[in-house]
């Protein structure tokens, strides 16, 4: 009896210390990874954007000079211009397609899991794969145009991928193909949480299905639309592999975007200063998006709480 | 008589209307299905056709006779740059990369998520927020310092990529495990601690046995992302160290050398097959990771 009491009280002091040590040990990898991989690296990139680094990282500070100088690069102008064409259209096309698919699937469709699986599988393949396949389909000499010529429509033309003023729109097709199923999955999950009693009551009152969707169902899942908007806009900002595989930023630099600009300037053109400035501009854009998103969440929560 | 017929036709015309809309609905669903499935069908069919036939009939056509030639050539003989050993070595590169990177980042995420939810300390919430801070940041922000670090460690190879995927995978894995572990009641843990179980004993005997669902979600998430990752692979490895996505780009990219569409298509299928297989087998868990990973982050 005494013996056990001594035994269990003796390790207790040790065990408190042991527990602390165990906690410390278990969090050390995460601490090191986060400190170096996120914060020191982020600081280093931002720091480099204030230097005159070219081929090698240097530490001569030149203030905000790069931040102004970059706007005199025609290629950067094209890249940012493309982002502001590509992002809104992609969000509208991909988001609209996804929402439409979710509403269609929500109509007590037979074998809905098969349709869902088919709509969503592009999310599981890599951008390089998706880009390669779509390049064939869109390429005039191998794809749709060639097929139509073979079917006898000799004057059929679909050469957007090879045209400087149209190539960026082909990126929208390919990336919407890859992501629409994801939007569908999110929106469908939301639709399934809507209270059926309210819908049934509205139907008893004689409201049409279209009205019920417009007035009751879709407004009640507004937070999901905001989340979709945020996710798609940051995917638009990060789009990289798919553009490279589809057009390689071309023809010329007609489909260049900031994400490609950064890598090219950094590793192919020895312009580290310019590259890091472009990366920081991407970061700033992301911060704007996050501010909008969290601002909305704050307002929405307040409204729900009231 | 007349009353009876109108009574019969009225509901049936309503039914006809409903049937019409059902028809439109299913037609729309099937058309959309075609839009999503056709690109995959094209590569699959093209990979089964012969080169002469493709040149004669174009890329978008049905195979006139099935051959596995392109698959064999793509896997064993196609050239990446001047290296003509096929996609096989790059496929194995990706396997060698994806297994340790997935296992380590998942294990780290589990232990970090456990420590942050079940052993709360002053600042544990801040620690968590800092850990997942990087989740949305574009990879472009980390390219330069990562390149310098890998240069310093002279690890511009598969092991460097394993390191990178742990650096940038931990945020996601920690998020997954943390969100799962907050749902486990603290009482179970405190009961075990009263019985004398220490930090790691609780983890092994109580937490890990409860974790299979979230382990599956995390492993699938990490596997899919690491296998499909391109930017780091193409930037930080060269020559024979390329992972499959970067090698595929080298073969089929706009600057790729040969134009043997059958071989290219087979290479595409080979690169896409592992993640597609996972999707077919465990799609439910893939979707779960996708929705929770993107919404909570």
CA distance readout (Å), B286 to A42, B33, B111, B271: 30, 20, 22, 18
pLDDT tens-digit map of B219-228? 999 999 999 9
Contact A245 B33 (CB under 8 A): no
- Considering only residues A115 and A54, tell me which one the structure prediction assigns the higher pLDDT: A115
Instruction: Give me the sign of the Cα torsion angle A242, A244, A245, A249.
Output: positive
Residues A135, A115 contacting (CB under 8 angstroms): no
Q: Is the pLDDT of residue B296 over 90?
A: no
Among B101, B137, B200, B281, most A C-beta atoms within 10 A, so best to mutate, is B137
**Which chain B residues are within 8 Å of A272, Cβ to Cβ?**
144
* Joined tokens for residue B252: 């089929």
pLDDT higher than 60, residue B51: yes
Q: Which residue in A41, A302, A118 sits closest to B41, CA to CA?
A: A118
**Cβ atoms < 10 Å from Cβ of A300:** 13
Reported confidence tier of residue B10, pLDDT bands at 50, 70, 90: low
The pLDDT assigned to B171 comes to 92
> From CA A62, how far away is CA A101, in angstroms rounded?
52
* Nearest chain A alpha carbon to B127: A31
pLDDT band with cut points at 50, 70 and 90 for residue A1: very low
Interior/surface letters B129-165, b for 16+ CB within 10 angstroms, e for the rest: ebbbebbbbbbbbbbbbbbebbeeeebbbbbbbbbbb
Q: What are the distances in angstroms from CA A273 to CA A66, A78, A105?
A: 7, 19, 49
Q: Find the angle CA(B269)-CA(B270)-CA(B274) to the nearest 5 degrees.
A: 100
pLDDT of A2 higher than 50: no
| Coil vs helix vs strand at A110 | coil
Which position has the higher pLDDT, B169 or A65? B169
Judge contact between A26 and B116, C-beta under 8 A.
no
- Asked if pLDDT for residue A279 goes beyond 90, the answer is yes
Q: Which residues pair with A99 in a beta bridge?
A: none
Q: Around Cβ A116, how many Cβ atoms within 10 Å?
A: 20
pLDDT for B197: 83
Nearest CA-CA partner of A98 in A198, A227, A247, A199:
A227
DSSP A255: T
Q: Is the pLDDT of residue A301 over 50?
A: yes
Beta bridge partners of B80: B83
Task: Select from A125, A127, A130 the Cβ nearest to the Cβ of B276.
Answer: A125
CA–CA separation, A252 and A250 (whole Å): 4
**What confidence tens digit (pLDDT) does each residue in A139-154 have?**
877 777 777 777 777 7
Length of chain A: 306
Name, in order, each residue with C-beta under 8 angstroms of A140's C-beta and a sequence gap of 6 or more.
A146, A157, A158, A159, A161, A162
The confidence score (pLDDT) of residue B209 equals: 93
How many other CB atoms are there within 10 angstroms of residue B25's CB atom? 15
pLDDT given for residue A178 in this prediction: 93
Q: What's residue B4's pLDDT?
A: 47
**Closest chain A residue to the Cα of B58, Cα to Cα:** A142
pLDDT at A3 over 80: no
With tokens 């001594």, the residue in question is A6
How far is Cα A243 from Cα A86, in angstroms, rounded to an integer? 11
pLDDT at B258: 53
Give the mean pLDDT of B46-71: 74
Conformational region of residue A270, where left means phi above 0, alpha means psi within -120 to 50, and beta covers everything else: left
pLDDT of residue B279: 92
Label residue B199 exposed, middle or buried (CB < 10 Å: 0-12, 13-18, 19+): buried
- Checking if the pLDDT of B7 tops 70, the result is no
For residue A251, say if its preceding peptide bond is cis, omega within 30 degrees of 0: yes
Contact across the interface for B28 and A117, Cβ inside 8 Å: no
- Which residues, 6+ apart, have CB-to-CB distance to A258 below 8 Å? A76, A79, A80, A83, A237, A278, A279, A281, A282, B140
- The pLDDT value recorded for residue A81 is 93
Burial of B292 (0-12, 13-18, 19+ CB in 10 A): middle
Q: Is the pLDDT of residue A284 over 90?
A: yes
E strands, chain A, in order: none
Distance from CA of B4 to the nearest CA of A (A): 26
pLDDT band at B11 (very low <50, low <70, confident <90, very high): low
Nearest in space to B97 (alpha carbons), one of B149, B160, B146: B160
In tens, the pLDDT along B129-171 reads: 999 988 889 999 999 999 999 999 988 889 999 999 999 999 9
- Mean pLDDT, chain A, as a whole number? 86
- pLDDT tens by residue, B244-285: 999 888 887 655 555 677 888 888 999 999 999 999 998 888
Residue A43 pLDDT exceeds 60: yes
- Among residues B129, B149, B297, the alpha carbon closest in space to that of B221 is found at B297
Full-model pTM: 0.88
pLDDT for res A208: 83
Least confident of A94-103, A173-182, B10-19: B10-19
What is the average pLDDT across A89-96? 96
- Minimum distance, in Å, between the CA of residue B61 and any CA atom of chain A: 8
Query: CA of B6 to nearest chain A CA: how many angstroms apart?
Result: 23
**Angle between helix B2-47 and helix A167-191 axes, rounded to 10 deg:** 130
Reading the block at residue A26, the tokens are 């278990």
Give the tens place of pLDDT for each residue, A227-278. 899 999 989 999 988 898 888 877 888 889 999 999 998 888 888 889 999 9
What's the mean pLDDT in B118-126? Answer: 89
Residue of B nearest to A41 (CA): B145
Tokens 């040990």 sit at which residue? A25
Residue B90: burial class (beta carbons within 10 Å; 0-12, 13-18, 19+): buried
pLDDT at A183: 94
CB distance B145–A41 less than 8 Å? yes
Q: A23 contacts in B (CB within 8 Å)?
A: 115, 119, 121, 199
Taking residue B291's Cβ as centre, other Cβ atoms within 10 Å add up to: 16
Enter the tokens of residue B10: 């009225």
Nearest to B232 by CA among B295, B153, B169, B296: B169
Torsion sign over Cα B65, B69, B75, B79: negative
In the prediction, which pLDDT does B254 show? 57
Q: Is the pLDDT of residue A12 over 70?
A: no
- Res B5: pLDDT: 47
pLDDT at B190 over 80: yes
Predicted local distance difference test score (pLDDT) of residue A6: 42
DSSP 8-state symbol, A138: H
Residue B2 has what pLDDT? 45
The pLDDT of residue B55:
67
> Is-contact B246 B234, C-beta < 8 A?
yes
A-contacting residues in B 2-21 (Cβ below 8 Å): none
Measure the CA–CA gap between A99 and A87, rounded to whole angstroms.
17
pLDDT in tens, A162-221: 787 888 899 999 999 999 999 999 999 889 888 888 888 888 888 888 888 888 888 888
Q: CA angle, corner A144, sides to A143 and A148, nearest 5?
A: 120
Nearest CA in chain B to A115: B33
Residue B259's pLDDT is 67
- Partners of A51 in the β-ladder: A61
């Amino acid at each position: 009896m005494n013996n056990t009491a001594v035994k269990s009280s003796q390790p207790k002091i040790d065990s408190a210390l042991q527990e602390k040590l165990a906690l410390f040990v278990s969090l050390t990898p995460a601490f090191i990874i986060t400190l170096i991989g996120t914060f020191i690296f982020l600081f280093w990139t931002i720091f480099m954007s204030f230097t005159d680094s070219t081929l090698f990282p240097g530490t001569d500070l030149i203030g905000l000079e790069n931040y102004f100088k970059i706007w005199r690069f025609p290629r950067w102008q094209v890249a940012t211009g493309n982002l502001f064409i590509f992002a809104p259209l992609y969000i509208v096309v991909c988001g609209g397609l996804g929402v439409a698919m979710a509403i269609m699937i929500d109509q007590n469709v037979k074998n809905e899991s098969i349709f869902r699986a088919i709509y969503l599988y592009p999310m599981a393949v890599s951008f390089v794969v998706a880009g390669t396949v779509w390049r064939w389909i869109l390429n005039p000499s191998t794809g749709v145009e060639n097929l139509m010529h073979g079917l006898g429509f000799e004057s059929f033309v679909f050469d957007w991928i090879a045209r400087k003023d149209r190539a960026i729109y082909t990126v929208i097709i390919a990336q919407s193909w890859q992501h629409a199923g994801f939007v569908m999955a999110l929106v469908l999950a939301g639709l399934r949480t809507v209270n059926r009693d309210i819908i049934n009551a509205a139907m008893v009152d004689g409201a049409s299905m279209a009205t019920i969707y417009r007035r009751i169902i879709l407004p009640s899942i507004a937070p999901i639309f905001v989340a979709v908007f945020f996710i798609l806009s940051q995917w638009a900002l990060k789009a990289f592999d798919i553009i490279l595989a589809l057009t390689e930023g071309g023809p010329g630099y007609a489909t260049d975007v900031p994400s490609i600009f950064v890598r090219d300037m950094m590793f192919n053109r020895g312009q580290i200063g310019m590259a890091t400035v472009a990366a920081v501009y991407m970061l700033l854009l992301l911060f704007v998006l996050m501010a909008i998103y969290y601002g909305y969440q704050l307002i929405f929560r307040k409204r729900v709480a009231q | 008589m007349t009353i009876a017929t109108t009574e019969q036709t009225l509901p049936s015309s309503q039914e006809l209307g409903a049937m019409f809309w059902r028809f439109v609905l299913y037609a729309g669903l099937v058309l959309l299905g075609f839009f999503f499935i056709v690109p995959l069908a094209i590569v699959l069919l093209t990979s089964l056709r012969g080169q002469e036939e493709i040149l004669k009939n174009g890329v978008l056509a049905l195979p006139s006779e099935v051959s596995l030639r392109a698959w064999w050539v793509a896997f064993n003989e196609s050239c990446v740059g001047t290296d003509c050993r096929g996609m096989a070595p790059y496929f194995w590169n990706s396997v060698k990369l994806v297994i340790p990177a997935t296992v380590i980042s998942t294990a780290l995420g589990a232990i970090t998520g456990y420590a942050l939810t079940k052993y709360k300390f002053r600042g544990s919430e801040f620690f968590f927020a800092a850990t997942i801070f990087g989740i949305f940041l574009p990879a472009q922000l980390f390219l330069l310092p990562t390149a310098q670090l890998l240069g310093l460690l002279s690890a511009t190879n598969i092991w460097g990529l394993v390191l990178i995927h742990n650096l940038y995978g931990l945020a996601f894995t920690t998020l997954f495990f943390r969100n799962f572990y907050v749902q486990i009641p603290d009482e179970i843990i405190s009961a075990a601690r009263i019985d004398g179980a220490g930090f790691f004993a609780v983890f092994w005997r109580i937490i890990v046995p409860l974790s299979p669902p979230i382990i599956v979600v995390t492993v699938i998430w990490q596997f899919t992302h690491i296998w499909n990752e391109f930017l780091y692979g193409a930037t930080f490895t060269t020559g024979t160290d390329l992972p499959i996505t970067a090698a595929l780009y080298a073969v089929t990219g706009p600057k790729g050398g040969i134009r043997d569409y059958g071989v290219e298509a087979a290479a595409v299928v080979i690169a896409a097959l592992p993640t597609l297989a996972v999707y077919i087998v465990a799609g439910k868990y893939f979707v779960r990771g996708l929705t929770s990973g993107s919404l909570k982050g």
